[in-house]
């Protein structure tokens, strides 16, 4: 990763005194990542997930392509970077899981650690359900399912395949168990031997697959039309809602307000630069989102008669439209299998980070052993995930305003709880804890302009923006 990209972040890092070896007192620190690279790849593995590969491309298409990308990048180098840095710093400074971390910042805020923990607890079961769908599609392409691939596949068969699959009571649960077992199998082996090692293998592989698919798709006739839509900003399409959508997506994509970055930060070595790592994670996350969009948008433009409206359909894009696109590509069966393998790896490293956030709390506060904590979480994922999965079949009667059980979990976590958690995190860090020593942890020079900038972002700008997301999330729904 090049250290001299993105000027603003680069400057901040320069003012920071990089690589100090100074040791501040940290009581009972977890055993953590063995290297800088291990930390960055694990955190990037968490950040790069379904949000990048699935949500970002269709949001970009819905909100005017290039202009959305521009807003996204502007927000990533400002608010996104600051919040990511802050969360990592809270973790590393305290060396604790999320509950211990907030208690260490201010004993009055122990309760807030529990509130934060609700986020990964809600997300992990349904994220695993969607992970299971991805596994199903990977196998469908490998085995060459006629509904998706070959002459027999049409829009109707693809649609029917997806709906029959998710409404089946057993099949989705079977695949979701495979995904959940894979997640827990990694976490149970520990931070260094499990999470760090798998991230070091999967992330470079992920990059290779993504770049290969991007180049392959862009070489297809007609693809350039889609590239233009995505890259060239049309300023007339800019609106306040573009900004809000970009910010909401950024937030989810960087795994903020999920306890993850605090947990991973607590495993980070003291002599690693936080700003530099945060910069590398942000660049990696944004690059994957852009590459994913450059796979999906051009391929739709090349092969779908009404690409724009296909893109705007949103969620069904990956499972219904995209397989048809692959079917039209030369070697589509292999390309489809490789694409879903990519999505599988990306989702797996994200799921791992969610589980680890919960495991670290169980170990620290209840003194559980790692494997006991993992077994407990697996049981929980299976129980709650099965309910979410059945929400598309036998339990579809349970829905509020057309939202399935899975949608309800997603709405509650993303639109309500996560903005609240982010706002309170900023408020605690900015007003109710020793913000100076947090800034020291980030290595921002005392009295320096970046320290002031950082504090202003944490105290005023970020919480206000999050409030805007929260309010708009509520209003758009009702």
Footprint on this chain of ligand PHE (rule: CB under 6 A): 46-47, 49-52, 123, 127, 252-253, 255, 258, 350, 353-354
* Torsion from C-alpha of 49, 52, 57, 59, nearest 10 degrees: 100
Q: What is the DSSP string of 256-287?
A: TTSSHHHHHHHTS-TTS-HHHHHHHHHHHHHH
| Least distance to ligand PHE, CB of residue 469, Å | 16
CA triple 307-310-315, angle to 5 deg: 145
457: Cβ contacts below 8 Å, ≥ 6 apart: 78, 79, 82
- Using only the alpha carbons of the chain, give its radius of gyration: 22
Residue 68 has which token pair?
Answer: 């959305």
Contact criterion met (CB below 8 Å) for 259 and 46: no
* Residue 441 CA: distances (Å) to CA of 57, 84, 96, 282, 296: 36, 14, 15, 19, 40
Q: Which residue in 455, 451, 438, 429 sits closest to 93, CA to CA?
A: 438
CA 147, CA 125: separation in Å to the nearest integer?
28
For ligand PHE, the closer CB: 62 or 106: 62
| Least distance to ligand PHE, CB of residue 357, Å | 9
For ligand PHE, the closer CB: 255 or 272: 255
| Least distance to ligand PHE, CB of residue 14, Å | 28
| Least distance to ligand PHE, CB of residue 55, Å | 7
For ligand PHE, the closer CB: 59 or 438: 59
For ligand PHE, the closer CB: 16 or 355: 355
| Least distance to ligand PHE, CB of residue 339, Å | 16
| Least distance to ligand PHE, CB of residue 352, Å | 9
3-class SS at 403? Answer: strand
Contact criterion met (CB below 8 Å) for 411 and 455: no
| Least distance to ligand PHE, CB of residue 48, Å | 6
| Least distance to ligand PHE, CB of residue 394, Å | 26
Q: How many CB atoms lie within 10 A of CB 243?
A: 21
For ligand PHE, the closer CB: 268 or 289: 289
3-class SS at 308? Answer: helix
| Least distance to ligand PHE, CB of residue 134, Å | 12
For ligand PHE, the closer CB: 158 or 351: 351
For ligand PHE, the closer CB: 273 or 353: 353
CA triple 265-466-76, angle to 5 deg: 60
Contact criterion met (CB below 8 Å) for 325 and 57: no
For ligand PHE, the closer CB: 140 or 346: 346
For ligand PHE, the closer CB: 252 or 319: 252
Contact criterion met (CB below 8 Å) for 268 and 277: yes
């Amino acid at each position: 990763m090049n250290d001299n990209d993105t000027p603003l972040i680069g400057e901040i890092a320069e003012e920071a005194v990089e690589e100090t070896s100074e040791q501040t007192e940290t009581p009972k620190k977890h055993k953590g990542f063995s290297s800088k690279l291990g930390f960055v790849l694990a955190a990037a593995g968490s950040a790069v997930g379904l949000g990048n590969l699935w949500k970002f491309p269709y949001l970009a298409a819905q909100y005017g392509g290039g202009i959305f990308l521009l807003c996204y990048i502007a927000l990533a180098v400002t608010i996104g970077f600051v919040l990511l840095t802050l969360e990592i710093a809270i973790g590393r400074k305290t060396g604790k899981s999320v509950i211990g971390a907030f208690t260490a910042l201010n004993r009055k805020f122990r309760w807030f650690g529990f509130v934060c923990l609700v986020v990964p607890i809600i997300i992990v079961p349904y994220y695993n359900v969607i992970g299971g769908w991805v596994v199903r599609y990977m196998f469908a392409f490998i085995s060459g399912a006629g509904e998706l691939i070959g002459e027999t596949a049409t829009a109707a068969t693809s649609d029917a395949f997806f709906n029959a699959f998710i409404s089946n009571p057993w099949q989705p649960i079977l695949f979701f168990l495979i995904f959940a077992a894979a997640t827990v199998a990694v976490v149970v082996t520990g931070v260094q031997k499990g999470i760090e090692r798998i991230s070091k293998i999967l992330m470079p592989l992920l990059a290779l697959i993504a770049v290969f698919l991007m180049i392959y798709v862009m070489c297809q006739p007609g693809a350039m039309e889609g590239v233009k839509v995505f890259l060239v900003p049309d300023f007339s399409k800019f609106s306040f809602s573009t900004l809000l959508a970009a910010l909401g997506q950024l937030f989810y994509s960087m795994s903020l307000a999920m306890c993850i970055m605090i947990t991973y930060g607590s495993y980070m070595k003291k002599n690693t630069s936080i700003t530099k790592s945060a910069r590398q994670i942000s660049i990696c996350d944004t690059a994957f989102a852009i590459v994913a969009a450059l796979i999906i948008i051009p391929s739709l433009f090349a092969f779908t008669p009404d690409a724009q409206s296909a893109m705007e359909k949103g969620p069904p894009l990956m499972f219904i439209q995209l397989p048809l696109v692959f079917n039209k590509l030369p070697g589509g069966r292999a390309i489809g299998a490789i694409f879903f393998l990519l999505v599988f790896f990306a989702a797996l490293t994200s799921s791992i980070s969610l589980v680890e956030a919960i495991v670290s709390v169980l170990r620290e506060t209840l003194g559980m052993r790692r494997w006991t904590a993992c077994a407990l979480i697996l049981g929980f994922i299976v129980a709650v995930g099965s309910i979410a999965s059945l929400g598309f079949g036998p339990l579809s009667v349970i829905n509020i305003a057309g939202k399935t059980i899975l949608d309800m979990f997603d709405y509650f976590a993303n639109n309500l709880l996560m903005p609240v958690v982010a706002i309170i995190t900023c408020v605690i860090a900015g007003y109710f804890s020793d913000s100076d020593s947090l800034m020291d942890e980030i290595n921002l020079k005392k009295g320096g302009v970046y320290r002031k900038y950082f504090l202003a972002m944490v105290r005023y700008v970020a919480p206000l923006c999050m409030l805007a997301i929260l309010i708009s999330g509520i209003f758009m729904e009702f």
